[in-house]
Amino acid sequence: MSTITERLIEAQARIDSAAAQAGRVGESITLLAVSKTKPAEMIREAYLAGARDFGENYLQEGVDKIDALQDLDIRWHFIGPLQSNKTRPVAERFDWIHSVDRLKIAQRLSEQRPSGKAPLNVCIQVNISAEQSKSGVNPAQLPELAAAVAALPGLRLRGLMAIPAPESDPEKQRQALAQMKQLFDALKAEHPGLDTLSMGMSDDLEAAVAEGSTMVRIGTAIFGTRK
């Protein structure tokens, strides 16, 4: 068995066991394999081992891999920061974006989404740790942005994404994740179609699953450390 296959099985086992502990089923949580900086051949290995959702952060790198792996039935997720003048390749080539945090970006993605394709799946990124430099809408502005995004014809609002600031105190780590779950539930009351809470990475996936994540974004634990 390849290392990637073994690591993927291990990551899935972590998800399943965290889900079981929380009284949830593992199938309610999607494993998004974050392949940024890793070559297309590693993605192919993970695909052969069963992964179907892959996340990329850098536009040109992501598009190159989409081109190289056209023979595979992959759902491509754009999860990195996006400038408003760079939206077109995301609208045209990806299936999901997790990092929408401004209406202008959402409007451009909607306009540029090819009419022959299903609407682009969108998670709004929330700046849950109130970090000055971080991307993400602040929670107070979330309802307004969500309503505007939900009204755009080229997009389908699926939920929320967060990258909580690293916390050495597990209690504080859990707080940010729990706040995200509250924001998600409140928004879902307005938008019943929401089904995705994208949170949890290699180091905090157990806590994220315990707090209600439905999609964990796992890079290092599957593909190894990045340069």
Which part of the chain contacts ligand PLP (CB under 6 A), choosing from 87-95, 147-155, 179-187, 212-220? Answer: 212-220
Q: How far is the CB of 100 from ligand PLP (least distance, A)?
A: 13
Produce one character per residue of 1-17: b if its CB has 16 or more CB atoms within 10 Å, e if not.
eeebbebbeebbebbbe
Indicate the residue type of 159: G
Q: Under the criterion CB under 6 A, does residue 202 sit at the interface with ligand PLP? A: yes
CB distance 184 to 162 below 8 Å: no
Among 14, 24, 65, 217, binds ligand PLP (CB under 6 A): 217
**Residue with Cβ nearer ligand PLP (10 or 144):** 10
CB distance 173 to 164 below 8 Å: yes
Residue 84, C-beta contacts closer than 8 angstroms, at least 6 positions apart: 102, 104, 105, 108
Q: Which residue of the chain is nearest ligand PLP when measured via CB?
A: 219
CA-nearest of 7, 47, 74, 31 to 222 is 7
Which part of the chain contacts ligand PLP (CB under 6 A), choosing from 20-28, 127-135, 188-196, 200-208? Answer: 200-208
Q: Under the criterion CB under 6 A, does residue 34 sit at the interface with ligand PLP? A: yes
Give residues in contact with ligand PLP (CB under 6 A): 34, 36, 57, 79, 163, 201-203, 217-221
